[in-house]
Amino acid sequence: MNLSRKWLNEFVTVTANDKEFAEAMTLSGSKVETTEDLGAEISNVVVGRLLSMERHPDSDHMWVCQVEVGQAEPIQIVTGAWNIHPGDLMPVALHKSTLPGGKKIEKGKLRGVVSNGMFCGLSELGLDERDFPYAVITPAAILGDYHPLDKDKPSIPADIQPGDKVYGPVVAAEMLEVMPLGDGTFHTCASIGAEGTVCPDTCCPNLHVGDMVAFNTKTNSYCTLSDLHAQQAEFPHCIPDGIFVLREEGIAPGDNIKPIINADDHVVEFEITPNRPDCLSVIGLAREAAATFDQELRLHEPVVKGGAEGSLVELLDVETPDPELCPRYTARMVRNVKIAPSPKWMRERLRSMGVRPINNIVDITNYVMLEYGQPMHAFDYRYVKGGKIIVRRAADGEELTTLDGNVRKLTHNMLVIADDTRAVGLAGIMGGENSEIVDDTVDVVFESANFDGTCIRKAALALGMRTEASAKFEKGLDPLNTLPAVNRACELVELLGAGEVVDGVIDILNHVPQPRILKLEPDRINGLLGTDIPEQEMVEILRKLGFTVEGDQVTVPSWRGDVIGMADLAEEVARFHGYNNIPTTLMRGQTTLGGYSTEEKLERQLGAMCRSLGYDEIITYSFISPTCYDKIRWSADDPRRQSFKILNPLGEDTSIMRTTILPSMLEILTRNYNYRNQSARLYEVGRTYQEGGNDGLAVENKVLSMGAYGEDMDFFTLKGAVEAILNDIRAEDIRFEKPCQNNPSYHPGRCADVYAGGRRLGVLGQIHPLVAQNYGVDAEFYCAELDFTQLLHAKGPDPEYVPLPKFPSVTRDIAVVCDEAVTVGALEEAIRKGAKGLLKEVTLFDIYQGKGIPDGKKSVAFNLVLRSDDRSLTSEEADADVKSILETLEKELGAVLR
Amino acid sequence: MKEQLANIRAQALAAFAAAADSAQLDALRVQYLGKKGELTAVLKMMGKLSPEERPAMGQLANEVRAALEQALEERSTALEAAALEKRLEDEAVDVTIPGKSVKLGHRHPMYIALDEIKEIFIGMGFTVLDGPEIELATYNFDKLNAEEGHPSRDWSDTFYFDTDSRVMLRSQTSPMQVRAMETMPLPIRIIAPGRVYRKDEVDATHSPMFHQVEGMVIDKNVTMADLKGTLNTVVEQLYGKGTKTRFRPHHFPFTEPSCEMDVQCHKCGGVGCPTCKGEGWIELLGAGMIHPHVLEMSGIDPNVYSGWAFGIGLERTAMRRFKIADLRLIFENDVRFLEQF
C-alpha cells in the first residue's frame, strides 16, 4: 500500500521527516517498507519566461533564447525545440541542476553560442502526457524541414513559394504572424502568394514567423504529418516532443518547479497485514498516524447537492438474489456526464499512490477507493439493459469480457453484476468491457458494494486476476463504508463539474452488522503484557483509534472486524504504549528439565560418527519425481512405489513423497560427480513417508543414508564405515549377508544386508551399474541405507568393565585352502565352532589365489589369538585348540591346512 | 716391566682416543684388556717377579687396568653420544611436508545453526519435540485460528494430498504447538524444529521446502514481558552480549498480541546500509502471546493459563550466521560448499 504524504496531511498533520515517520509507524504496527521523495532527483529547476527568441546563426533548427528566471538579469539558453514562443512559461534547468535519472545540466556552448541551462520537456522531468494532458504537442509539418525520401524525386520542390500548390487544396504558406493565445492555441496569419493572406487559429505550437508550411485551403488549417500522408523520415523534426509549456495558474519566473509538478510529495510504502484491510486506505492510515503522533484526525463528511433530472427509483432497480454473497449493495447515479481528464490535483494524488489517471469518472472511483478503502465501480448506464442490476451467481460456462479485454469463462461459484440479459461486471474483481466508461458516456451508475470476501478471493484465484479491488474485498471490508464512499464519489463529481448527481441512494442492506461490545479489563491486559499501564492510558489509546469507551464497555468500530476479545484490546494498548516499553523479564514458575530425547541422542551420535569417518552431512528434499523409482530399477508393480502424492505440486520432479531415501542420495552424488568433485562421502538422517499412519497420515521413518564415490572407495571401505558406526552404538552380533531378495538398485555381487542380533538394519553395497547409468554416471557409487528405528533397537547397553587379561595370549597363524565359493564368514564361523574355549580373536589377514593354489581354490589366512583367563597357556594347549579348529574347517568346509 | 706397563698405558690411551666408533673400541678392549690382551700378557708375567717387586708392580698393573677401563668407558660414552647425534641428524625430516591427511566429515551449516539454537533452549529447560511433516489441516490451520478461507490455505500456497484439503504438507512448525498442548502435561516448554513446505519456486531466497524452529511456553502468569526477556537472552547468546533488539507489532492468526523481533544490523550498527535495506534492523523471527482461542481449542483454560510462542526460519539464520548469499547452496550439497563448515 502506497501512501502520499500530501494526501495524508489532508487528514492529519504530521511533520516528521520520512525516516522518523517510517520508524514511528513501523513501531506502532504499520510496517513501512520504503519511503520515496518524488523530487529527490530534481534540483535547481525553476519556472522561466521566454522573452525573445532568435534563430541560431549557425543552425537551421536551433534558437537562441532570452529567458527570465527570477534573477536580476535574463539568461540566454540555446534550444532545438520548436514549440515555444515569447511569453511562454516553461521549466528551466539552470546551470548546475539535476534531473531524474541522474542527469546533470551545466552551462556550455551550442555551436559556439553560450547556453546557461536547458528547457525541459515532460519526459525530462519524469512526467508524461497523462500527468499534463494539455502539454500534448501537435506539430505542423514545416516545409523547410522537408527531406525527400528520394533525393532525385522530391515531392515538394526546394524552391517552393507561397501559393504554390502542394496537392489538391493544399498550398504553400509563409508565416507572417504567430500570436499565442495562452490556452495552447495560436492566432496566425500566413501568406499564400497571389491568393492573399489567411488567418486561421491553430493548436500547432511549432510555427514561427518566416516558416514555410503546407496550408489546406479547404479546411483552413495547417497540415500535420498525417495530413500530408508523409513519413516521419521526410520531416525529421516534426515530432510530438518538445518543451513543456506550463499553463498553471499563479506561477511566476523563478518559482521552484517541484510543487508545480507534484515532485514535492513523498510516498511511503506500507506492508499491511491481512487482518487490517481498513489500513489499505488513506483514511485508515491517517487514523493510525493520528494515534501514533498524537495528532487530531480531521475527517470529512461528504456533501452532495444532487438535483439531476429523474428519479433514481425509476431509473435503476437492484436485486440481490444471493444475499449471503452480497451483504450490502449501494449505488448512485450521475447524469449528463462530461468525460474529460480529471484535474491536476487528482491526477497527482493518483500518480503518487501508483494509480494511472484515465478520465474524471474512472479517476473518481479510484480516488475514493484509495481514500476510503472501498472499491468502487462505474457503469455506463445505457448498457445496463432494463435499468436493472442483478447481483447473482454466474451460470456455469457463462462468459464475460472484462475491462482488460480478456474473455473469462465463469462458474457458479463466481458472483457477477448483471442486467436483465447478461453480465456486465465481475463482482468485486473487474468491470465488463460491455459497460465500460467511454468518451461519450452520458449517464453513470456508481456501485459501492460489500461482497463476501471468500467468494471474491476464490473467484479471483480461479480466474488468475487478483486486482486491487479483489485484494481488498478478500480481507473482509467494513459494510458501513459503502455509503460514505458512494457519497464521496458523487461529491467529487460535483466538485469536478463532471456531471449531475441524481438525488437518492439505492442501498440494499442484506446483513446489518451489530457493533461488538467488549469488556475493558485493565488487570487482565496488564497481566497478559506484564505491564502496569494505567486504565486511563488504555482508554485514551482506544479512543484515539475510534473505539468508544463508556465505563468498562468498549464498542469496537465497524472497520475493526479483527478485534474480538481481550487479547486484541491488549494488542491495541501495547502497540501505542510501545512494544519496546514493555519490560523484559525472565520466566518464572515451575522449572522444567530440558534435554534431548533418546532418538535425538542417537541421531546426534550417528551424525558425529559419520563425520569422524569423513562423511559430510547433506540435506535433501523429501519429495521426488515418480520416475526416480524407475531410475533405481524398482519394478513397475513394486509395492514400495505406493507414495503420498501431492495433488498440486510445483512440478513433476517434486510431486511425490519418497518411500526410499536412495534417489535423494544418488541425486546429490551425481551432482557432485558432475561438478567434477574428485570424491564425495555424504550422509543424511532423512525421512521416508509410507502410507498407513494414524488419521490417514504417513508413517515417517528416519533412515541413515550414506553415499560415496571416488578415491579409495570400494565395498569394504563402506562396510568398514558401517561396522565402525555399529560398533560405536555397541550393536551386538553384527552380520553381513547376501541379500535374501535381489535388490535391483544394487550390484548383485557387491551388496549385503546388514543385521545386528537377528534384526535387519538395512543394506549396503555398490549401486547397480544400470542405476548409475540411469543417473548418467559411469563411476562406482556406494550407498548404505540403515533404518533409524532398527538402529535404535540395535543400540547396545552401556558398557560394563571387563577385567584386563592377567595371562599372556598365544598367537597362531593358519592358512587353509578351500573352494573358491566358501565365504570368509563361513570359515570364521567354523573356526569359532572348532575352538575349545581358548580362542579370543580371529582376524583375516590374507586371501590368495594363483601360483601354488589349484584352480577353483583359494588360500585364506587367519591370525588366531588364544588365551586363558586363569593360567598361562602352554604351547601344547594352544596346539590342541588349533588342531580342533583345523579339523572342523576340514570336516565342515573341506578347508585344509596349506 | 714397569716400562712395559707404562708403554701399554700410553699406547692404549692413545689408541682409545683415536677409536672412531664402538666397534674399533671393542677391538681395542680385546687387544689390551682381553684374555689374550697385552695388559693380561704383562700380568701373566707377574709370577716371574720377586715377591718384593710383586706388590708394587701389582698395584701399578691394577692402576693401569683401572685407568684403561675408565678411559674405555669414557670413550665409549662419547662415541655413543656422537653416534646418537649422527643418527638423529640422519633421521631429521622436512617438517614442512604436509601431515598424513585425516579426512573428517562436516556438519551441514544449517544444522550447525540449529544445534546452537537447541543448546540455548535446552539450557533454559526446553524439551526438543519432533512431529509429522505430512500433517492434518486441522493442526496446521484450524486449531491455529486460520479458518477456512484464510489465504495461506489456498492450493496456490500449500501442498495437499487430497481434494478435501484435509491432509497436507505442514506449512509451518506451528502445528507442533497444538500437538504439544494436546499431549503434554502443563507447564510446557518446548521447541520443535523441522521441515516445512510452501509452494514457492526455487530462487536465491525461496525453496518449496525449508526449516523452522517453533518454540512455546505455557504456564500460569506467563506474560509478554517474559517473551521479550527470553528471546532477548536467546539473541544475546546467538549474536553476542549487548546485541540490540526491537519488537514490532505484527499479525499471526494464532497469537495476540503478535510481534516480530528485529536485531540491530551487525553491518552498520543501526545507521542503515544495503544489508538491512537502510532500516538499521534485520527481521529475525515472529512471536506473540498464544491466542486465547487457540488455547481453548486445545483444551487449555485461557483464564488460568497463558503462553507465548515463536517461530524462526532456520535457513535464513544459517545464511546470516555464515554469510551464505544464496539459499540454493543449502540444498545443492556441493562438497566444496559443505566442507567449508
Q: Are residues A743 and A830 in the same domain?
A: no
Q: Are residues A154 and A27 in the same domain?
A: no
Of B105, B221, B250, the CB nearest to A617: B105
Residue B49 in this model has a pLDDT that exceeds 90: no
**A597 CB near a chain B CB, below 8 Å?**
yes
Q: Find the range with the poorest average confidence among A58-62, A283-287, B321-325.
A: A58-62
Tell me whether residues A594 and B332 touch, CB distance under 8 A: no
Long-range contacts for A596-605 (Cβ within 8 Å, ≥24 apart)? Answer: A596/B118, A596/B122, A596/B128, A597/B127, A597/B128, A597/B130, A598/A792, A599/A788, A599/A792, A599/B130, A600/B128, A600/B130, A602/A729, A602/A788, A602/A791, A602/A792, A602/A795, A603/A685, A603/A702, A603/A788, A605/A728, A605/A729
| Residue A561, in any domain of the structure | yes
Residue A389 in this model has a pLDDT that exceeds 90: yes
Q: Which residues on B lie below 8 Å from A528 (Cβ)? A: 223-224, 257, 289, 306
Which sign does the torsion angle of CA A263, A266, A271, A272 carry? negative
Please count the structural domains in chain A: 7
Quote the domain boundaries for residue A835.
810-897
pLDDT at residue number B321? 85
Task: Give the residue on A whose Cα is nearest the Cα of B303.
Answer: A524
Tell me the pairing of strands A407-409 and A415-418. unpaired
Residue A408 in this model has a pLDDT that exceeds 90: yes
| Residues A264 and A39: beta-carbon distance below 8 Å | yes
| Residue A396, in any domain of the structure | yes
Any idea what the CATH number is for the domain that residue A170 is in? Answer: 2.40.50
Task: Give the residue on A whose Cα is nearest the Cα of B221.
Answer: A527
Tell me the pairing of strands B188-197 and B167-169. unpaired
pTM: 0.82
Confidence band (pLDDT; 50, 70, 90) for A588? confident
All cell numbers assigned to A133: 494532458
Q: CA A664 to CA A658: how far, in whole Å?
A: 9
Of A584, A623, A697, the CB nearest to B232: A584
| Residue closest to A574 by CA, chosen among B308, A23, A588, A566 | A566
Q: Are residues A832 and A856 in the same domain?
A: yes
Mutate to test the interface with B, among A34, A37, A582 (most CBs of B within 10 A): A582
Task: Give the residue on A whose Cα is nearest the Cα of B283.
Answer: A31
| Residues A135 and A122: beta-carbon distance below 8 Å | yes
Rg of chain B on CA atoms, in Å: 43
| Residue A592, in any domain of the structure | no
Q: CA A547 to CA A549: how far, in whole Å?
A: 6
Residue A576 host element (H or E): helix A566-577
Q: Are residues A278 and A425 in the same domain?
A: no
Q: Domain residue spans in chain B?
A: 2-91, 109-338
Mean pLDDT of A679-704: 95
Rg of chain A on CA atoms, in Å: 44
Q: Are residues A420 and A340 in the same domain?
A: yes
Tell me the pairing of strands B188-197 and B209-220. antiparallel
Taking all residues of chain B, what is their mean pLDDT, rounded to a whole number? Answer: 91
A876 three-state secondary structure: helix
Q: CA A510 to CA A322: how far, in whole Å?
A: 9
Q: Which residues on B lie below 8 Å from A610 (Cβ)? A: 105
Task: Give the residue on A whose Cα is nearest the Cα of B126.
Answer: A594
Q: Which residues on A lie below 8 Å from B224 (Cβ)? A: 528-531, 574, 582
Q: Are residues A400 and A522 in the same domain?
A: no
Tell me whether residues B136 and A649 touch, CB distance under 8 A: no
Q: Which residues on B lie below 8 Å from A704 (Cβ)? A: none
Q: Are residues A621 and A699 in the same domain?
A: yes
Greatest CA separation for chain B: 134
pLDDT at residue number A143? 86
pLDDT at residue number A612? 96
**B142 CB near a chain A CB, below 8 Å?**
no
Residue B192 in this model has a pLDDT that exceeds 80: yes
Confidence band (pLDDT; 50, 70, 90) for B148? confident
Task: Give the residue on A whose Cα is nearest the Cα of B338.
Answer: A616
Neighbours of A247 (CB within 10 A): 14
Mean pLDDT of B103-117: 95
Which residues, including other chains, have CB under 8 Å from residue A179's CB and lie 6 or more apart? A186, A187, A188
Last residue of a domain, one of A553, A581, A609: A581
Share of chain B above pLDDT 90, in %: 58
Share of chain A above pLDDT 90, in %: 68
Tell me whether residues B333 and A657 touch, CB distance under 8 A: no
pLDDT at residue number A512? 80
Any idea what the CATH number is for the domain that residue A537 is in? Answer: 3.30.56.10
Q: Which residues on B lie below 8 Å from A474 (Cβ)? A: 151
Residue B337 in this model has a pLDDT that exceeds 90: yes
| Residue closest to B144 by CA, chosen among B296, B250, B285 | B296
Q: Are residues A752 and A829 in the same domain?
A: no
Q: Are residues A379 and A352 in the same domain?
A: yes
Tell me whether residues A619 and B220 touch, CB distance under 8 A: no
% helix / strand / coil in chain A, to the nearest 5? 30, 30, 45
Q: Three-class SS string for A400-461?
A: EEECCCCEEECCCCCEEEECCCCEEEECCCEEEHHHCCCCCCCCEEEEEEECCHHHHHHHHH
Q: How far is A881 from chain B (nearest CA, A)?
A: 40
Task: Give the residue on B whose Cα is nearest the Cα of A572.
Answer: B257
Q: CA A609 to CA A603: how far, in whole Å?
A: 10
Mean pLDDT of A194-214: 89
All cell numbers assigned to A476: 473482509
Q: Please state the separation of Cα B257 from the chain's center in Å.
A: 39
Tell me whether residues A582 and B225 touch, CB distance under 8 A: yes
Residue B163 in this model has a pLDDT that exceeds 90: yes
Tell me whether residues A596 and B122 touch, CB distance under 8 A: yes
A58-109 pLDDT, tens per residue?
A: 887 889 999 999 999 999 999 988 889 888 999 999 999 999 988 999 999 9
Top-tier CATH class for B109-338: alpha beta
Last residue of a domain, one of A763, A794, A825: A794
**A654 CB near a chain B CB, below 8 Å?**
yes
All cell numbers assigned to A262: 507534484
| Residue A663, in any domain of the structure | yes
Any idea what the Cα angle at residue A450 is, between residues A446 and A455, rounded to 5°?
120
Residue A193 in this model has a pLDDT that exceeds 90: no
Last residue of a domain, one of A481, A509, A537: A509
Confidence band (pLDDT; 50, 70, 90) for A818? very high
| Residue A801, in any domain of the structure | no
Q: How many CB pairs under 8 A join A and B?
A: 247
Taking all residues of chain A, what is their mean pLDDT, rounded to a whole number? Answer: 92
How many residues would you count in chain A? 898
Contacting A residues, span 16-75, partner chain B, CB-CB under 8 Å: 26-29, 31
pLDDT at residue number A78? 93
Any idea what the CATH number is for the domain that residue A316 is in? Answer: 3.50.40.10
pLDDT at residue number A146? 87
A609-627 pLDDT, tens per residue?
A: 999 999 999 999 999 999 9
Q: CA B311 to CA B314: how far, in whole Å?
A: 9
Measured in degrees and rounded to the nearest 5, phi and psi for residue A380 equal: -80, 120
| Residue closest to A618 by CA, chosen among B137, B44, B81, B339 | B339
Mutate to test the interface with A, among B224, B226, B262 (most CBs of A within 10 A): B224
**A457 CB near a chain B CB, below 8 Å?**
yes
Confidence band (pLDDT; 50, 70, 90) for A22? very high
More confident residue, B32 or A288: A288
Task: State how far the alpha carbon of A630 is from the alpha carbons of A745, A751, A779, in Å.
Answer: 10, 20, 19
Strand partners, B335: none
**A690 CB near a chain B CB, below 8 Å?**
no
Contacting B residues, span 1-60, partner chain A, CB-CB under 8 Å: none
Task: State how far the alpha carbon of B173 is from the alpha carbons of A74, A698, B185, B295, B311, in Å.
Answer: 71, 17, 20, 17, 8
All cell numbers assigned to A434: 460491455
Q: Which residues on A lie below 8 Å from B340 (Cβ)? A: none
Tell me whether residues A689 and B133 touch, CB distance under 8 A: yes
A329 three-state secondary structure: strand
Tell me whether residues B251 and A276 touch, CB distance under 8 A: yes
Confidence band (pLDDT; 50, 70, 90) for A181? confident
pLDDT at residue number A683? 98
| Residues B161 and A655: beta-carbon distance below 8 Å | no
Q: CA A440 to CA A809: how far, in whole Å?
A: 112
pLDDT at residue number A660? 96
Q: Are residues A390 and A499 in the same domain?
A: yes
| Residue A279, in any domain of the structure | yes
Provide the H-helix boundaries in A587-638: 598-612, 627-631
Q: Are residues A693 and A725 in the same domain?
A: yes
Share of chain B above pLDDT 70, in %: 100
Q: Are residues A254 and A388 in the same domain?
A: no
Residue B335 in this model has a pLDDT that exceeds 90: yes
